[in-house]
Chain A
Amino acid sequence: MTTLDERSATSVSSAGAATGEGGQELRSRTDISQKALMREAGAVLRMSESAAAALADVAGDVGEDQSMIINMGPQHPSTHGVLRLMLELQGETVLRCKPVIGYLHTGMEKTGESLTYMQGGTNVTRMDYLSPLNNELVFSMATEKLLGIEGDIPERAHWMRMLLSELNRMSSHLLFMATNGMDLGAVSMMLYGWREREEVLRFFQKVTGLRMNHNFIRPGGLAADLPAGWRDDVLHLLDMLPDRLAEYEVLMTGQPIWRERLQGVGVITQSEAIALAATGPILRSTGVAWDLRKDLPYLKYREVEFDVVVGAHGDAYDRYAIRLQEIRESMRIVRQILDRMPSGDYRIQNKKVTPPPRGRIDESMEALIHHFKIFTEGFKVPEGEVYVAIESPRGEIGCYIASDGSSVPYRMHVRAPSFVNVQCLPHMMRGGLVADAVAVISSIDPVLGEVDR
């Protein structure tokens, strides 16, 4: 009994300190120097003097007693998971903001060091759970580059990967439409967005067996061929979506309330976006036509026609409009893929990385041994290190693998677009209204599984 009492006594006394995140939290204005404040405020960003002075106007002249620090999240429904923002408010104006992350950290990069290259896909696919196929793709491409087989991947595998990647972009952006609508009070949009995304996921389920976390794109190709009738399913999607997207336009784009709520909110300039390494729709909303599919092409993106959608104002409305239009561009790419999908192998016929076909296992002992070895030990990857990046719906997703020549990565790092993009929040929120904070978070479209990994 005594031990129990002691334990509960210590846990109560330390509870106050233990629930805080200490130095990770937003510090009060009196605790930090003016220089640190300016640095935090973004004076170090390469912005014009007048812009920096304007920033100082917001934050500089406020005494400690005129502002207050409040928490938004980590359980706030509009923070897309467990993002916690500490906001310093003066009335309704946001002076400073600091994202506190890590609530969903599960050590996936550490886990990746104990999974073979064959198993690694199951790990990375869970990072950005809204575009799992892009995660698998970048991991597979990095592994293939280390193996030196990226030139031998069959044509059909490239086109299948592109098909899945583009459909995934559509499903991810459709979910953005839903959550963005929900965050801003357009509840019917939430239902519409989820409904359309479900149609895409139904296709994924038919192809991969799972709605999410597919582990379908693997080093060397894909896990299986497309099922019979896939073409009709894709055509069904392509026929259904344009009308639905037109509905979105009526519901949101044309609405004065929707425009009022988003235009001029969460503005970020071109130089800020580049300095903060923002990628994807955030960078494109500032007018930089940067899309890895176009600028550093991978797979067969060189051979398909599509436009890179850019904005001009860098605000939340541009980011919404870009994503809506990117769904259409993805559909355009998917149509071309349908026309050009070649026949042939869906994975490389390299005995080193590809398990033998199921039928062979029953008749050949070597095939059985080979199958067993590849699924228990995995395949060895030559020593080296490589960084491969592709365009995920949220921006540049990169995979850095250092190999020591064994069958597990020595180090596997994923450059998560959301992790970097969340850094833009303090700059987008400065001087805005607290009510707009929700719109700004939503326009970043962060996936916390990827932020925290």
Chain B
Amino acid sequence: MIESLGQRVVFVAKSDYLPTITRLYGEGFTMCVDLTAVDYLLHERRTVPAEVAPQRFEVVVNLLSIANRERVRVRLQVADAETVPSLFDVHPSTEAMEREVFDMFGIVFDGHPDLTRILMPEDWDGHPLRKDYSQGRIPVQFKGAAS
């Protein structure tokens, strides 16, 4: 548990990810307000605690405790093509959020009930928020439009 600009942050290993979230749930963090990811491809030398090995992706989970009025942020390092356990059974609210992360970053969540694209069209190639997915260099895909 470290402090980042006055906010509580927990770095977890992948094996610890689900147990930590479950333990925090027991401690009162019953609401998972946000789940997102960052692609650190172009910024590998970022500041992380010494014992954490930085990977390309990072899944960031923001938990909220209504009873104690506090927040905690869980950061999980994810390598390319690595899968992450889904939080759906602990926090059903992550259903759409994990789909969004899958859609935008291509991170696969194990055990998610319906892991499909959510914002992009179903037949879209690539994952737009990855750093190697450049803006403006991919031709626009029109679906079945009369040309």
The residues of A with any CB-CB pair to B shorter than 8 Å are 7-8, 11, 14-15, 18-24, 36, 39-40, 42, 44-45, 101-102, 105, 107, 109-111, 114, 145-146, 148, 274-279, 288, 290, 295-296, 383-387, 389, 396, 398, 400, 402, 404, 410-411, 413, 415, 419-420, 422-423, 452-453
B1 at the interface (CB under 8 A from A): no
B93-A411 in contact (CB<8A) = no
A179–B48 CA distance with the chains assembled, in angstroms: 47
Q: How many A-B residue pairs have CB under 8 A?
A: 135
Q: Are B30 and A274 in contact (CB under 8 A)?
A: yes
With contacts A15-B144, A275-B93, A277-B33 taken as known, whether A404 is within 8 angstroms of B43 at the C-beta atoms is yes
Quick check: is B19 within 8 A (CB to CB) of the other chain? no
Interface size range of chain B in the complex: 35 or more
B137 at the interface (CB under 8 A from A): no
Contact A107 B96 (CB under 8 A): no
**Chain B binding site: helix, strand, loop or mixed by DSSP?**
loop
Q: From the candidates A22, A39, A277, name the one contacting B31 in the complex (CB within 8 A).
A: A277
Instruction: List the A side residues contacting B53 at CB < 8 Å.
Output: none
Q: With a CB–CB cut-off of 8 A, which chain B residues contact A413? A: 34, 36
Residues of A contacting B: mostly? mixed
Residue on A with the closest CB to B92? A275
- The verdict on A410 contacting B117 (CB below 8 Å), with A45-B92, A290-B66, A387-B62 known, is no
Cβ A402 vs Cβ B66 within 8 A: no
Q: With A and B bound together, what is the CA distance between A149 and B5 in angstroms? A: 11
List chain A residues, Cβ under 8 A from B123.
Answer: 18, 22
Q: Please, could you name 19 A-B residue pairs with CB atoms under 8 Å apart, sorted by A? A: A8-B147, A11-B147, A23-B114, A23-B116, A36-B113, A42-B92, A109-B104, A274-B30, A277-B91, A288-B66, A295-B66, A386-B4, A387-B60, A387-B71, A389-B33, A404-B43, A404-B46, A411-B129, A415-B36
CA distance A387 to B69 in the complex (A): 15
Centre residue among B31, B62, B120, B123 by max chain A CB count within 10 A: B31
A87 shortest CB reach to chain B, Å: 17
B33 / chain A contacts, CB cutoff of 8 Å? 277, 279, 389, 396, 398, 415, 420
Q: Is the CB of B69 within 8 A of A44?
A: no
> Is the beta-carbon distance between A101 and B145 smaller than 8 angstroms?
no
Contact A102 B135, beta carbon cutoff 8 Å? no
Q: Are A386 and B7 in contact (CB under 8 A)?
A: yes
**At the interface, yes or no: B88 with Cβ under 8 Å from chain A?**
yes
Within 8 A of A (CB), among B118-132: 118-123, 128-129
Chain B residue numbers with a CB within 8 Å of A276 are 92-93
Question: B15 within 8 Å of A by Cβ?
Answer: no
Q: How far is the CA of A423 from the CA of B91 in the complex (A)?
A: 12
Contact between A385 and B4, CB atoms less than 8 A apart: yes
Q: Tell me if A101 and B118 are in contact (CB < 8 A).
A: yes
Q: Judge if B89 is at the interface, Cβ distance under 8 Å.
A: yes
Q: Shortest distance in angstroms between B61's beta carbon and chain A's nearest beta carbon?
A: 10
Chain A minimum-CB-distance residue to B117:
A24
Interchain CA distance A42-B135 in the complex, whole Å: 39
